[in-house]
Amino acid sequence: MLNDSELAEPVKLTPQDFVSDQEVKWCPGCGDYSILKQVQTVLPESNTPKENYVFISGIGCSSRFTYYMDTYGMHGIHGRAAAIASGVKMGNPDLDVWVISGDGDALSIGGNHFIHFLRKNFNIKLLLFNNQIYGLTKGQYSPTSEKGKTTKTTPYGSLDQPFNPLELALGAKASFVARTLDRDPKHMQEVLRRAHQHTGGTFVEIYQNCPVFNDGTFFAYSDKETKKEAAIILEHGKPLVFGNSNELGIRLDGTTPVVVTIGGDSGVSADDLWIHDETDRTKATIIARFPDITTSQFPRPFGVVFAEERSVYEADMAAQIESIQQAKGNVSLNSVLSGSKTWQIF
């Protein structure tokens, strides 16, 4: 017979415990396979009971994710995943809620939900699968497609300036902002662990390859021959260094970032470089804008760009309700909606 301590001991979960009985149906070579695998790998590391996980998705290739996770979940409607997840979290704050969304789903029809979800700071993890194209509906340009992109809906090239998801999330007051990519499983796992540990509105942009409609868009940031110059890995408290031999760095000239060569005749050492501080929102915004700087070839940043701890919406809501009940007792919904400035018409 088991004693009380043995009965109370949580069941040790494995990645296989999060694999559903549904056949995974994405195109061969789709980056979604890697993202699914890394999430299933990271989740068992926490002590969260399996029945406390909830995955909410919208519409798109990424949104099939909920079927492949053996957890509670909901395949919602286009652009509304963040709104649904917010309601779930308010209804039961103890749940570990994740949102799965694509660049079209989250930033086009779901754009308003996206920004208000982040500013309210629910303790929810939002993973944005960004392939810079509409995949499920067959190759239209998306809010993150580069200017000049030729697609079925922009046969002569897109005229739009694309969203920069990191910059948008920071502007919406997200308390955790990070980027990773499907072709670097180790890095993705590290970012997902940090995201899971964070308490608050967590935004992770994941560069995800679409082999059918936008193949190879992000390969420069993961291919062995190019990634050391095209990408920079952010580490809190460490200088911004990149290049094939870590010979390049980034220095701040006032508020302007500058790419410099380290050593040699330059007279620049690692001590002269920008030290990454993930708690500095202003500098995080500058980092997020590296891809928009055209004066020189800036690397694309990956890792945790910004993280801060602040009160979460569902806790603030519970505290407000409790304080009102203590002061006024149970208040009827009708009196709240009516307010004090009402009148009767005879």
Q: In this predicted model, what pLDDT tens digit does every residue of 104-115 receive, in sequence order?
A: 999 999 999 999
Q: How many residues does the chain have?
A: 346
pLDDT at 175: 98
Amino acid at 252: L
Spatial separation of the C-alpha atoms in residues 108 and 318, rounded to whole Å: 32
Q: What is the pLDDT of residue 337?
A: 80
Share of the chain above pLDDT 70, in %: 96
Of residues 129 and 2, which shows the higher confidence score?
129
Q: Choose the weakest-confidence range: 10-14, 15-19, 76-80, 120-124.
A: 10-14
In a domain? residue 297:
no
> Could you tell me the residue range of the domain that residue 113 belongs to?
11-222
Q: What is the pLDDT of residues 276-315, one digit of tens each?
A: 999 999 999 999 999 888 667 899 999 999 999 999 999 9
Any domain includes 236: no
- 6 pLDDT higher than 90: no
Predicted confidence at residue 182, as pLDDT, reads 98
pLDDT tens column, 23-53: 999 999 999 999 999 999 999 999 899 999 9
Is 287 part of a structural domain of the chain? no
Q: Which residue has the higher pLDDT, 340 or 172?
A: 172
Task: Give a yes or no: residue 150 inside a domain.
Answer: yes
The region, left, alpha or beta by phi > 0 then psi within -120 to 50, assigned to residue 138 is left
Over residues 202-216, the mean pLDDT reads 97
pLDDT of 70 over the 70 cut: yes
Do residues 130 and 103 lie in contact, with contact meaning Cβ atoms separated by under 8 Å? yes
In a domain, 257, yes or no: no
In a domain, 280, yes or no: no
**How many structural domains are present in the chain?**
1
Residue 20 domain-assigned (yes or no)? yes
Q: Does residue 4 register a pLDDT over 80?
A: no
Q: Helices then strands (H, E): number in the chain?
A: 12, 11
Rounded CA separation 274/100 (Å): 33
Name the more confident of 334 and 149: 149
Distance CA(246)–CA(228), nearest Å, equals 8
- Predicted confidence at residue 313, as pLDDT, reads 97
Which residue shows structure tokens 């260094």? 241
State the chain's mean pLDDT as an integer.
Answer: 93
Q: Which of 300, 56, 30, 45 is nearest to 180 (CA)?
A: 300
* Token pair 């997020």: residue: 288
- CATH number, position 130: 3.40.50.970
**Helix 185-197 and helix 32-42: axis angle, to 10°?**
50
Q: What pLDDT shows up at residue 343? A: 76
Compute the average pLDDT of residues 215-236.
96
- Judged against a pLDDT cut of 70, whether residue 245 lies above it is answered with yes
**pLDDT, position 93:** 96
The DSSP-derived string for 200-251 is: S-EEEEEE--BTTTBTTTTGGGTSTTTHHHHEEE--TTSB-EESTTS-EEEE
Residue 92 lies in a domain: yes
Cα–Cα separations (whole angstroms), residue 62 to 75, 95, 99, 115, 185: 10, 22, 10, 20, 17
- pLDDT, position 1: 46
What's the confidence (pLDDT) of residue 334? 82
